[in-house]
């Protein structure tokens, strides 16, 4: 596996299928020798420290390849797939798109006691920001407050959940490995989704030995209704608490906790998102002063029945969601963005089509999910370079690099050793056998596009070597511009026309 220098690449490009060769105009090798020497020296050490399969491409801001190692090799990209997902969804939805959650009603308000007479339901449409107290977003309390302002003081009947975005059932994507499913980074995916599919609560010792422990905290508010504590407080400071998942979304806490023990925190993926929604909704109504008689059959409203939106809340704008997806690498949010833009059935196919249309790459590309959690995904370093070069020049790509985290923040928080923040905008990807980084790096002579892909057993070591290269090339880096459209093609090369797309 030898590095490909510019002269070799120019010869190789003429032999590749038309799309790959045409994607990169002939580079100008003059004055690039210093950069090439740096890259070759770095790679000799990196390949020794982290033996495995490397695929690397470094290019100018227009997409002209400067240096490469196996640039056309299709490799496991991990979470760098989110670069494509956020670009595709932005193309379909727009930077200002929002997801809406509503309370729908068919009936009328009884003016005497404030009872809603008729049917009502919660419509949840896969808002990835719904009920996230730690990260912001709309809440059920806001919906309940709107109901109260409408004059509603009482609801009757069981909770009905629906979604204009499709099925209300949450499932694991079949392309995710069984060992990943249900872990905190791989929750069930569905339109009924709160707090990014996670349930968190804290258990503290009871007031005395022999007493039942107490629940001290819960996220989202209301999930305490699903927690059953069967444990007991004992002498000492050790905690031997266990939690099992029961029926109907229940979490059963058993074991012992010492009277002097610290509060014990638990975080789980919601195994019954509908049960979580009902518990949180009940808490929101109670907090707002609305009585909910779940067991009572709702009175029929005819002949006065009318359909209405009784309350609604909106997510933050798409770009804010996309920035968080890339900064925190939130798998569930990436999958929901993909569904939002691509529809419930052929979303991954439409994502692949989008990348091919932008890059011109017709082979070596396979995308089966929106998060990159699947090991079935395949992308080459060259495809990333072409996308990074071309997409920002499209109308939908205006300012796209700013949706990626900068050095020192999010998944790039350990990328230190540079003159300041804003020199790098990049996305990382990590699996048990993959460490990837793709993005932009500002230098005085121009922006570099960098795609570093490693597949092998030494993931941690490979990541450290990748950071070293960014530090090396960014030691005298400059701030990346925050609007690619204002600087011509500074963050985007020549772009092919993309036909209109429909979800």
- Reply yes or no on whether the pLDDT at 26 is more than 50: no
Read off the CATH number of the domain in which 321 is found: 3.40.710.10
How much is the pLDDT for 404?
98
Average pLDDT over residues 433-461: 97
- Reply yes or no on whether the pLDDT at 6 is more than 80: no
Same domain for 393 and 301: no
Domain contains 492: no
Residues 6+ apart with CB under 8 A from 338: 85, 88, 89, 347, 348, 351, 369, 370
* Residue with the larger pLDDT of the pair 485 and 313: 313
Same domain for 288 and 229: no
Domain contains 500: no
How much is the pLDDT for 17?
36
Domain contains 443: no
Same domain for 171 and 127: yes
279 phi and psi angles, rounded to 5 deg:
-65, -40
For the chain, the first-to-last Cα distance in angstroms comes to: 41
How much is the pLDDT for 301?
59
Domain contains 444: no
Q: Report whether 60 contacts 446 (CB < 8 A).
A: yes
Radius of gyration of the chain (CA): 26
Q: Report whether 77 contacts 381 (CB < 8 A).
A: no
Among residues 85, 105, 47, the alpha carbon closest in space to that of 379 is found at 85
How much is the pLDDT for 22?
36
Same domain for 403 and 321: yes
Q: What percent of the chain has pLDDT over 90?
A: 83
Domain contains 300: yes
How much is the pLDDT for 4?
60
Domain final residue pick, 210, 240, 269: 269
Q: In this structure, what DSSP letter does residue 79 have?
A: G
Instruction: Map residue 43 onto helix, strand or coil.
Output: helix
Average pLDDT over residues 126-140: 96
For the segment 391-402, what is each residue's pLDDT rounded down to a tens digit?
A: 999 999 999 999
How much is the pLDDT for 138?
98
How much is the pLDDT for 247?
86
How much is the pLDDT for 495?
37
How much is the pLDDT for 474?
95
- Reply yes or no on whether the pLDDT at 12 is more than 50: no
Q: What count of residues does the chain have?
A: 503
In the chain, how many domains are there?
3
How much is the pLDDT for 481?
83
Residue written as tokens 């209300």? 168
How much is the pLDDT for 489?
40
DSSP characters over 381-416: HHHHHHHHHHGGGSGGGTTGGGGSPBTTSGGGTT--
Same domain for 220 and 144: no
Residue 482 in tokens: 């925050």
Question: Cα–Cα distance between 83 and 427 in angstroms, integer?
Answer: 7
The count of C-alpha atoms lying within 13 angstroms of the C-alpha of 484, restricted to the half-sphere facing its C-beta, is 28
- Reply yes or no on whether the pLDDT at 307 is more than 90: no
Average pLDDT over residues 430-458: 97
Read off the CATH number of the domain in which 119 is found: 3.50.80.20
DSSP characters over 218-258: EESTTGGGGEEE--EEESSS-EEEEEEE-GGG-EEEEEEEE
Q: Report whether 451 contacts 93 (CB < 8 A).
A: no
How much is the pLDDT for 363?
85
Question: Cα–Cα distance between 45 and 26 in angstroms, integer?
Answer: 29
CA-CA distances (angstroms) from residue 342 to 93, 109, 348, 354, 421?
A: 10, 38, 7, 10, 34
Domain contains 493: no
Same domain for 149 and 209: no
Same domain for 147 and 285: yes
How much is the pLDDT for 491?
46
- Reply yes or no on whether the pLDDT at 482 is more than 90: no
How much is the pLDDT for 276?
98
Print the domain residue range for 19: 6-95+317-438+450-487
Average pLDDT over residues 355-376: 95
Same domain for 121 and 158: yes
The count of C-alpha atoms lying within 13 angstroms of the C-alpha of 495, restricted to the half-sphere facing its C-beta, is 25
For the segment 219-244, what is each residue's pLDDT rounded down to a tens digit?
A: 999 999 999 999 999 999 999 999 99
Same domain for 347 and 300: no
Reported confidence tier of residue 361, pLDDT bands at 50, 70, 90: confident
For the segment 349-359, what is each residue's pLDDT rounded down to a tens digit?
A: 999 999 999 99
Question: Cα–Cα distance between 474 and 304 in angstroms, integer?
Answer: 68
Domain contains 445: no
162: number of Cβ within 10 Å: 16
């Amino acid at each position: 596996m030898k590095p490909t220098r510019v002269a070799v690449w120019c010869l190789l490009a003429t032999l590749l299928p038309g799309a790959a060769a045409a994607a990169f105009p002939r580079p100008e090798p003059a004055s690039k020798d210093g950069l090439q020497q740096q890259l070759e020296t770095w790679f000799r050490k990196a390949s020794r420290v982290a033996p495995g399969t490397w695929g690397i491409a470094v290019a100018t801001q227009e997409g002209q390849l400067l240096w490469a190692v196996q640039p056309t090799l299709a490799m496991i990209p991990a979470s760098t797939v989110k670069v494509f997902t956020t670009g595709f969804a932005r193309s379909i939805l727009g930077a200002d798109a929002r997801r809406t959650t509503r309370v729908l009603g068919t009936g009328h308000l009884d003016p005497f006691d404030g009872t809603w007479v008729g049917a009502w339901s919660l419509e949840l449409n896969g808002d990835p920001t719904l009920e996230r107290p730690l990260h912001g977003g709309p809440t059920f309390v806001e919906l309940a407050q709107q109901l109260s302002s409408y004059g509603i003081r009482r609801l009757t009947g069981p909770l009905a959940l629906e979604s204009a975005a499709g099925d209300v059932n949450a499932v694991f994507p079949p392309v995710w490995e069984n060992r990943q499913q249900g872990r905190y980074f791989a929750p069930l995916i569905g339109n009924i989704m709160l707090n990014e599919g996670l349930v968190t609560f804290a258990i503290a010792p009871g007031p005395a030995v022999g007493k039942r422990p107490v629940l001290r905290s819960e996220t989202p508010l209301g999930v305490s209704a699903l927690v059953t504590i069967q444990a007991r407080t004992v002498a000492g400071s050790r905690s031997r608490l266990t939690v099992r998942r029961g029926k109907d979304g229940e979490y059963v806490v058993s074991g012992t906790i010492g009277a002097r023990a610290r509060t014990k925190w638990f975080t789980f993926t919601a195994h019954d998102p509908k049960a979580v929604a009902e518990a949180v909704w009940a808490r929101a109504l109670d907090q707002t002063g609305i009585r909910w008689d779940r067991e009572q059959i709702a009175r029929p409203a005819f002949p006065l029945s009318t359909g209405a939106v009784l309350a609604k809340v909106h997510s933050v704008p798409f770009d804010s969601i996309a920035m968080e997806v890339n900064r925190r690498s939130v798998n569930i949010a990436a999958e929901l963005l993909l569904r939002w833009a691509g529809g419930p059935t052929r979303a991954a196919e439409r994502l692949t089509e989008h990348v091919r249309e932008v890059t011109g790459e017709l082979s070596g590309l396979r995308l089966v999910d929106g998060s990159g959690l699947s090991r079935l995904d395949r992308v080459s370093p060259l495809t990333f370079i072409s996308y990074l070069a071309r997409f920002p020049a499209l109308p939908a790509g205006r300012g796209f690099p700013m949706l990626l985290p900068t050095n020192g923040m999010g998944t790039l928080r350990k990328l230190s050793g540079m003159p300041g923040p804003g020199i790098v905008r990049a996305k990382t990807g990590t699996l048990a056998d993959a460490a990837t980084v793709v993005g932009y790096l500002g230098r005085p002579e121009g922006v570099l596009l960098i795609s570093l892909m490693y597949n092998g057993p030494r993931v941690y070591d490979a990541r450290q070597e990748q950071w070293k290269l960014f530090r090396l090339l960014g030691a005298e880096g400059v701030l990346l511009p925050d609007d690619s459209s204002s600087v011509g093609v500074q963050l985007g090369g020549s772009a092919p026309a993309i036909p209109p797309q429909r979800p």
